[in-house]
Structure 1
């Protein structure tokens, strides 16, 4: 209560100077600066909340003149520590016992003291040295009381016309939880662990380990870090330019990749450890950018890089502005366009993200809007971080690294790489390039020539495929790791498949009438999945999914469908929801988002999006049980190349109790990981399974198989009136055509006759994954190679995230694209940014060549600077 009373008393003085500042807003610069200095002095006296609020004021350039803003950009200062008696009392409360009972030794002199907490060195009984962060006595009540007062003050100031457009009360309401939460050490420990997980296995960034068993709301215990303080960059053991480059790389990685960033990256919160390591400290303030924030930010930067200023203005408004509907008209667009051109064309050599945001914020204020809270916090972070980096290396080109990160995020080749590959392909594949130009005049081929979202700059144009090889129209031969996205598990042009197709074609290529071939294929599929199973044939995996979902709705009488984030179920509106690059909402409770123009909004909005492997997803299914017809899932998500058997079994239990159908999408994994699918490995039996790819033997095919009573929902009842009311229609002129059925039957009969195919593929995949990972490690390249059962993936990323959204966020897209083209130069084809596949036709010699090609490619890419953050890489020079 004493702290609260002091806050109210001091508030009167702050109110006076706030009003003075507001009244003088329209007067001369000198008066406004003087008022800002006086206000800053009182904010310092008021304590931590006001200090942070003052730092936020330092980002609101439109509210104050530039000189006045600088007064709020220097709020970093050491404060006197707590008295020993108060410290011991606080420690006993936080630890639950005397510090002498917890620590073998505890130094009462703090190594650092701030406005919220102070840090001490201690030693555990096992001899380990730890840092103990203790919340200052009384600060929690002071924060709560002063936040109430400050909110009231801002409401008073907001009545002034020139200030009203910035919506300071609304801004503060959004910031208040962030500012008041900094005295919760339990929350800080959780944030510290989150950031540490994001940087796990990073080559030069570390975050101290938290001792959860000793930490509480008042005390945070963590590993003690030895090294040079950020105040002493000369002792870091690295040249200034390399140290600054590492700092910027680490900070931008937090912002652009993780979306979880340090708000206070000043010298006191960074330690330079031996070996060139950067150790980040103090996670009392952590900013967050949502999936939409990062998407919008990346799309905005990409438009600026391409100098598409009209698009950039629109994307800026979407990304940064509150109440964007107010920002219309040519005056706003022209004014912002001029600012964008100045910063992105004229001042890139003197780039400052904060300077750009300064100008942009002023424009928003003049037109009745303001920057969003998320980006206001980012501006506060950049204020400190970029200033710190520039002090370490005054000559650093900040824009070069910013550009490098936007290149890595966007799924496109940068100009330098594209030009180099263009010359290379002109020499080795001139006919392929010519054919692509010819195709562009007539053909839209979104799977290969014009691939959606992930365009191939240099698509392969194949003349012939056989076994494990592809030969392009220029006569170049490649070992294939694409497998046609899945169908060719036996390799290309397998003799049994070729003979079956030739025979079926010679018999007339029957469709739309019955024939023995479709019966035989249906029998093989049903026998592989269960004695009571029925089969419905379609023309593709996409069709199979559409039919399965319709059957589920008809069978249950319910409408909604649940699916998992990042799982792709074909190109239907339902299948594309939250399936590719776009994700939204809390990772534990994702919100649905479309991944294509033209998708039906109602379909997107009505889809319940879940997170694979998360227990909370099962709770959400149970909560929506009365409205869910089914849950569709890739049991082994292609993007993860692995499965969670325990989760799949729990999913079956929850849905079974609620009368919700479980639909497995095994279009990729069906007959690839086992004779049948993933369900045979994990021991689950879904109600419906969608198949495709392999069951067509390389020709278009799809199928739905499952419980007889469920699949029979698509069988006619003999009563046309009942059919329309209660049965699910499924059709297709080419469904079950004789040529496709013959090819699929030939493949399944081969797989059934040669059961050793699957153990062989499993063994080869395991060897290749381990060998590729070892080669990348030998080169010192951050690379993740994952896979099993003939399915694997390669990504250049230091982290090992479990969520698809996090894998894509941290993916070095440019390097992954470049790998595909470097590998092609060594006789190996892998599809850019796609899951990779092995077939039974791949020999040991093939895999050894793949591994050798990968090693050479990674070394070439490293020599070209793809994985370096040295000055040469930042300036675009060759190493």
Structure 2
């Protein structure tokens, strides 16, 4: 502690010398106006305390005005007349002098504007906004930093920091609340508000996050015209946030939309407005919300978002023991100190239960955190400063919401937000579908319930993380159709997650399997079928050897081991969001949880039981970013291989240019490049994506289709690399220099016969791939037309038999952002609605079509999709208003 104080004092002194004249001026201002405030307050018949305090803060400068703006939102904390005094901070702040404005324009805006209105349309504590016209004729809004504000903010923040630290030595409450730590988190942002180039970058980032949003708009900036003290952006008209009654939209709906926008910024974007007071919002006709002023923007890490979401998710489900533990993990500075007390845990669950149930009608985050922080303090801990900015944002935002709609039930609408993005069906939706499906699938439902007594099926009945709401039990599968135990028939869009490109029960693999069974079905021994399959694979990938496995997961494990054996290096690099099977390595940062910066991710396990050393040693990259190539170069000395899905299943597209640069980088540093084409191999074209991209990896992992519907995997690649799995003939040499990748069932004659037959059929009938391209393009266009007709935020993507449907307004580039913010509830519900209309699609999974799908099948899918969207719209799934959607009851 003493060293920390000395270090901070040293920093204080360095800043003090630089800002000495401003510190003297600010100090004198504080002392002088404090005396005036005290004298005026003591005089009888003077102005009230609220008016005095407003004037006092106004004269102290921009840092204190910011405090007044926060106070102006706190109708639940301050008396009504007091709040009204502070609300005038939003509209009645004084502008800078005209000569100062002209000097700034001459210095920074020379030649930018054809005309400039010197009368500001808005004045803030740090800057003011004007309208202008650029030389190219565009009308713009121009934000201009007030003269002298930079120095005043820096000096005032330095003085306030010193005062808080000094008070901490004398006042226990200051220490207990760690006000110094919280202010330290805020101070860089407060003093950095004057850099409008940095603000321009923040504004563009937020605008990109909300691009295509149905009711949130962020003015686009004009980067070429922006300067450090000038921010030029498109001009937007609207009703000021202080006057929501003039917006022409129900106040309760405006408040619900504002809350939804706040939650979206925090939990999905991790980039949120720290200062959401009314002066930073406009309302456009139709209830559209315009976000303004990004001088204060907070960021949350992937871990922060995960921890916050997991805490509130437990509260929504009223799992108080779990919620208490997650609260401590998320918010406590010293979680182990608090956890050591049983009394603490019991008290915390009581606080959570009360605030998240009985007091939700007048929810206050400040009240909740105040009570929780006092509990933590009694048990030797503090509220973490990691969320200081979020706490300020929430404090201000909830005050603004209460002004827009004093009756807003923040918690109820927050639950609606959670419900929309939860992978679990809400109670009302579950009840509806229980009624819908009970009569249609009684036998299937009974079989599913019975299976829970003796089977764990993580892929379908008990799907990991993203549970299947109503998994079916298939009695028969033929061509493109599935029939469940109750006799209901569906057009299938799952394709068995990949293998059934030709359809179910296709005569070619069926005949091959019968012949293989009649021949005895051998394994752990060579057979003609094994030789034929290996020969067919290596013909599809010239100049390669093949080694067979039992699944795609095994193929990946084999490839990684061979790469390590060949290079003598240990580390493996993979890409964020790419799934390579259920091995510890394959699931690192794979498809649900992420960590670290977007351009330099950190590894994180996606399953309990993963070996920490394997996870921690994995280098995680970002697909499509050249920063990933630099990181490979830096780590090349330790890297055995880089494994990648060349066409990630989640995105359904590939970047040929990036794949070529990736291959060149790996080749230059002796790092092996491994393509995981378990899904795309022989599906997108004969062979795989590498033939479309023109890139030849060192190793290719295959599975699914190459087994003809039976379990199979393979690695094909450079003979010198795959050859490391072949015995040297010397047992002592084998142990030290050869990679063992054998399996009893690998290359068994039945699977090999089926796979060889399917690959031979695909090779001899190239028109299958042409047909799949045509069918995919038609279906994507058909589904998009129904989305457009209803004006919904839904992304339909697809090519070469792979399709994706995502209810999301955003079009993010990174997988971590694609999975955050998707309307999960709608995606799950769509699967249930489609089933009523004779189509089976797996919830939250890539959709697949095959050669067996006829044009009539796809037309049926299109009609079912249109009907489902219409019913979901009627049920309120796509409403963002304050009333939660109640699913419509429709006949089976």
With the shorter chain as reference, the TM-score category is over 0.9
1:574 is paired with a residue whose SS is coil
| Of 339-348 and 233-242, the range deviating more from structure 2 | 233-242
Which residue number in structure 1 is paired with residue 13 of structure 2?
none
* Aligned partners of 2:541 and 2:687 also within 8 Å: yes
Which residue number in structure 2 is paired with residue 314 of structure 1?
325
1:650 is paired with a residue whose SS is helix
| Of 79-88 and 375-384, the range deviating more from structure 2 | 375-384
Which residue number in structure 2 is paired with residue 851 of structure 1?
862
Structure 1 residue corresponding to 2:779, chosen from 768, 772, 775: 768
Q: Structure 1 residues 164, 37: closer, same or farther in 2, change over 3 A?
A: farther
Matches of 1:546 and 1:65 in 2, distance apart?
A: 63
Query: Are 1:517 and 2:529 an aligned pair?
Result: yes
Structure 2 residue corresponding to 1:690, chosen from 697, 701, 706: 701
| Of 377-386 and 579-588, the range deviating more from structure 2 | 377-386
Question: 1:620-659 maps to which residues of 2 (within 5 A)?
Answer: 620-659=631-670
Which residue number in structure 1 is paired with residue 230 of structure 2?
219
Q: Structure 1 residues 162, 426: closer, same or farther in 2, change over 3 A?
A: same
Q: Structure 1 residues 415, 766: closer, same or farther in 2, change over 3 A?
A: same
Shift of 1:384: 2.3
Q: Structure 1 residues 424, 562: closer, same or farther in 2, change over 3 A?
A: same
Shift of 1:873: 2.7
Query: Are 1:465 and 2:477 an aligned pair?
Result: yes
* Aligned partners of 1:59 and 1:358 also within 8 Å: no
Structure 1 residue corresponding to 2:151, chosen from 141, 152, 158: 141
* Aligned partners of 2:145 and 2:229 also within 8 Å: yes
* Aligned partners of 1:397 and 1:875 also within 8 Å: no
Which residue number in structure 1 is paired with residue 42 of structure 2?
none
Matches of 1:613 and 1:295 in 2, distance apart?
A: 25
Query: Are 1:828 and 2:852 an aligned pair?
Result: no
Matches of 1:225 and 1:4 in 2, distance apart?
A: 41
Query: Are 1:485 and 2:494 an aligned pair?
Result: no
Q: Structure 1 residues 71, 178: closer, same or farther in 2, change over 3 A?
A: farther
Matches of 1:162 and 1:382 in 2, distance apart?
A: 22
Which residue number in structure 2 is paired with residue 24 of structure 1?
none
CA deviation vs aligned residue, 1:461-486 (integer Å, no higher than 9, x gap): 10111100000011000000000000
* Aligned partners of 2:182 and 2:388 also within 8 Å: no
* Aligned partners of 1:55 and 1:380 also within 8 Å: no
Question: 1:360-399 maps to which residues of 2 (within 5 A)?
Answer: 360-399=372-411
Which residue number in structure 2 is paired with residue 131 of structure 1?
141
Q: Structure 1 residues 12, 324: closer, same or farther in 2, change over 3 A?
A: farther
Shift of 1:90: 1.4
Structure 2 unmatched runs, 5+: 1-16, 35-47
Matches of 1:77 and 1:577 in 2, distance apart?
A: 51
Matches of 1:626 and 1:537 in 2, distance apart?
A: 30
Shift of 1:355: 3.4
Structure 1 unmatched runs, 5+: 19-33
Matches of 1:83 and 1:362 in 2, distance apart?
A: 47
Which residue number in structure 2 is paired with residue 432 of structure 1?
444
Q: Structure 1 residues 498, 580: closer, same or farther in 2, change over 3 A?
A: same
Shift of 1:585: 1.1
Shift of 1:59: 12
Q: Structure 1 residues 177, 56: closer, same or farther in 2, change over 3 A?
A: farther
Query: Are 1:92 and 2:106 an aligned pair?
Result: yes
Shift of 1:48: 2.8
Q: Structure 1 residues 570, 395: closer, same or farther in 2, change over 3 A?
A: same
| Of 377-386 and 283-292, the range deviating more from structure 2 | 377-386
| Of 272-281 and 206-215, the range deviating more from structure 2 | 272-281
Matches of 1:876 and 1:73 in 2, distance apart?
A: 43
Structure 2 residue corresponding to 1:121, chosen from 131, 139, 142: 131
1:832 is paired with a residue whose SS is coil
Which residue number in structure 2 is paired with residue 410 of structure 1?
422
Q: Structure 1 residues 271, 605: closer, same or farther in 2, change over 3 A?
A: same
* Aligned partners of 2:645 and 2:676 also within 8 Å: yes
Q: Structure 1 residues 73, 739: closer, same or farther in 2, change over 3 A?
A: farther
2:430 is paired with a residue whose SS is helix
Q: Structure 1 residues 391, 320: closer, same or farther in 2, change over 3 A?
A: same
Shift of 1:86: 1.2
Shift of 1:533: 0.2
Matches of 1:54 and 1:605 in 2, distance apart?
A: 47
Shift of 1:504: 0.7
Shift of 1:42: 6.0
2:586 is paired with a residue whose SS is helix
Q: Structure 1 residues 506, 550: closer, same or farther in 2, change over 3 A?
A: same
1:604 is paired with a residue whose SS is helix
Which residue number in structure 1 is paired with residue 762 of structure 2?
751
Which residue number in structure 2 is paired with residue 81 of structure 1?
95
2:452 is paired with a residue whose SS is helix
CA deviation vs aligned residue, 1:10-35 (integer Å, no higher than 9, x gap): 347869999xxxxxxxxxxxxxxx99
* Aligned partners of 1:584 and 1:593 also within 8 Å: yes
Shift of 1:124: 1.8
CA deviation vs aligned residue, 1:617-670 (integer Å, no higher than 9, x gap): 111111111111111100000010111111111101111101111100000000
* Aligned partners of 2:558 and 2:715 also within 8 Å: yes
CA deviation vs aligned residue, 1:409-443 (integer Å, no higher than 9, x gap): 32111111111111222111111111111111111
CA deviation vs aligned residue, 1:181-227 (integer Å, no higher than 9, x gap): 21111111111111111111111211111000000111100011112
Which residue number in structure 2 is paired with residue 106 of structure 1?
116
CA deviation vs aligned residue, 1:664-716 (integer Å, no higher than 9, x gap): 00000000001000000010000000000000011111000111111111111
1:134 is paired with a residue whose SS is strand
* Aligned partners of 1:667 and 1:692 also within 8 Å: yes
Query: Are 1:500 and 2:512 an aligned pair?
Result: yes
Shift of 1:57: 10
Normalised by the length of structure 2, the TM-score is: 0.92
Matches of 1:481 and 1:58 in 2, distance apart?
A: 55
Shift of 1:85: 1.6
CA deviation vs aligned residue, 1:308-356 (integer Å, no higher than 9, x gap): 1111000111122222222221222122211111111112233333433
Which residue number in structure 1 is paired with residue 464 of structure 2?
452
Q: Structure 1 residues 569, 407: closer, same or farther in 2, change over 3 A?
A: same
* Aligned partners of 1:534 and 1:711 also within 8 Å: yes
Shift of 1:859: 0.9
Q: Structure 1 residues 812, 673: closer, same or farther in 2, change over 3 A?
A: same
Which residue number in structure 2 is paired with residue 294 of structure 1?
305
Q: Structure 1 residues 360, 37: closer, same or farther in 2, change over 3 A?
A: farther
Shift of 1:43: 5.5
Matches of 1:346 and 1:875 in 2, distance apart?
A: 23
Between Structure 1 and Structure 2, how many residues are aligned?
Answer: 858
* Aligned partners of 2:177 and 2:382 also within 8 Å: yes
Query: Are 1:800 and 2:811 an aligned pair?
Result: yes
CA deviation vs aligned residue, 1:229-253 (integer Å, no higher than 9, x gap): 1122222121222222222222222
1:431 is paired with a residue whose SS is helix
Shift of 1:72: 13
Structure 2 residue corresponding to 1:5, chosen from 21, 27, 34: 21
Question: 1:552-591 maps to which residues of 2 (within 5 A)?
Answer: 552-591=563-602
Matches of 2:676 and 2:56 in 1, distance apart?
A: 63
2:585 is paired with a residue whose SS is helix
Shift of 1:493: 0.5
Matches of 1:264 and 1:702 in 2, distance apart?
A: 54
Shift of 1:516: 1.2
Q: Structure 1 residues 53, 554: closer, same or farther in 2, change over 3 A?
A: farther
Matches of 2:429 and 2:268 in 1, distance apart?
A: 22
* Aligned partners of 1:545 and 1:569 also within 8 Å: yes
* Aligned partners of 1:625 and 1:660 also within 8 Å: yes
Which residue number in structure 2 is paired with residue 189 of structure 1?
200
Question: 1:22-41 maps to which residues of 2 (within 5 A)?
Answer: none
Which residue number in structure 2 is paired with residue 701 of structure 1?
712
Matches of 2:98 and 2:225 in 1, distance apart?
A: 20
Normalised by the length of structure 1, the TM-score is: 0.93
